[in-house]
Amino acid sequence: MSNILYQGQIMKSQTRTISVTSGKGGVGKTTTVANLAYCLGQAGKRTLILDGDLGMANVDIMFGIRVNSGIHEVFSGKRTLDEIIVSVSENVDLIPGGSGVYGLHNLGFAQKQVLLQQVGQLDQSYDYMIIDTAPGIDDNVLYLNAASQEILVLVTPDPSSLADAYAIIKVLHQKHQENRFSILCNQVKDEKEALRVYQRITDVADQFLCVSLDYKGFIPADLNLRQATRSQQLVCRGLAESASSRKYLELAEKISAPGDFMELKGSIQFFWEQLSGVA
């Protein structure tokens, strides 16, 4: 476990940050974030979710709860970060989204210092932080992705999904110098179709960009998953033996495997520093 010098102190850089993004809506980002976090939690990994999809901030609903607080209350001074974090499952906590996340990189100096000080106290508590990003490629989405250690791009066989996934990879590469991405194929029939989807986006990226796309697996178009998502439930919690549940578990195991994680940019503090414009 590496150490970094942070505001005069040595901090352990143990919290891995993973953004889940796609460039478009309706491809299963929130479902993936919630089920992945649940699987990590069941494996004993302390996991923190940041709900960054402000247009549809609903990660809490997937866990069967409803919260009224949001990260904007931290910036207004009404609450501390610890006070808005809620436990949603065993070993899984959530930072609820809320108006104000769009302005993270425009925070005042005092707000940045308060935020970073509070985040510094969280670093020892979590193995992973998973960020659910909003659809599109606006500044908020780009900052959330660029600040993360690993960018997990969801793509489906739909041509518009492929086009939008490529678009966000291109923009992150050109504007933020990101050159490594993980690809998760969602809503596919089987691995054969998943590999075709992966090859299609890889072919285009190889032709026009200098980036590395790592295949992270696939989630099948499972009827159980569709029904669970429609009911705003976790398929991994209620139907652990379903095909999609097994694949989410495989994804969690792959992410947890030693040596599988991409080169780290820094600790959880680095994420917030980048996001708030300090770094």
When mean pLDDT is compared over 42-56, 128-142, 220-234, 265-279, the highest value belongs to 220-234
- Both tokens assigned to 107: 């925070």
pLDDT over 90 at 73, yes or no? no
Distance (Å, rounded) from C-alpha 160 to C-alpha 150?
Answer: 23
232-273 per-position pLDDT tens digit: 899 999 899 999 999 999 999 999 887 655 555 666 766 777
What is the set of domains in the chain, with CATH numbers?
15-276 (3.40.50.300)
Say what the pLDDT of residue 207 is.
94
Q: What is the pLDDT of residues 220-229, one digit of tens each?
A: 999 999 999 9
Which pLDDT belongs to residue 74? 78
Mean pLDDT on 118-142? 81
Q: What whole-number distance in Å separates Cα of residue 279 and Cα of residue 270?
A: 7
* Stronger pLDDT, 219 or 112, i.e. the higher one: 219
Mean pLDDT, all residues of the chain: 84
Instruction: Report whether 145 contacts 172 (CB < 8 A).
Output: yes
Give me the pLDDT at residue 63, please. Answer: 94
pLDDT of residue 136: 83
Greater confidence, 87 or 257?
87
Q: With 60 as the cut, is the pLDDT of residue 69 above it?
A: yes
pLDDT (mean) for 95-99:
76
Q: 217 in helix, strand or coil?
A: strand
Residues 6 or more apart whose CB falls under 8 angstroms from that of 107 comprise 75, 115, 276, 277
pLDDT of residue 186: 97
CB 155 within 8 A of CB 22: yes
pLDDT number for residue 155: 97
pLDDT of residue 76: 73
Residue in 193, 142, 140, 195 with CA at minimum distance from that of residue 167 = 142
The confidence score (pLDDT) of residue 127 equals 92
Each residue of 142-195: pLDDT tens digit? 888 888 899 999 999 999 999 999 999 999 999 999 999 999 999 999 999 999
Long-range contacts of 9-14 (CB under 8 A, 24+ apart): 11/120, 11/123, 11/267, 11/269, 12/123, 12/124, 12/267, 13/123, 13/264, 13/266, 13/267, 13/270, 14/123, 14/124, 14/127, 14/267
The Cα–Cα gap between 201 and 209 comes to 11
Task: Taking residues 62-80, report their average pLDDT.
Answer: 83
Q: pLDDT at residue 48 above 90?
A: yes
Q: How far is CA 175 from CA 137, 179, 213, in A?
A: 11, 11, 18
User: Does residue 208 have a pLDDT over 50?
Assistant: yes
- Tell me the average pLDDT across 25-40: 95
The owner of tokens 């050109």 is: 174
SS3 content of the chain, % helix, strand, coil (to 5): 45, 20, 35
Residues in the chain: 279
Would you say the C-alpha torsion 36, 37, 41, 47 has a positive or negative sign?
positive
Q: Give me the pLDDT at residue 152, please.
A: 97
Question: Collapsing DSSP states into helix, strand and coil, what is residue 167?
Answer: helix
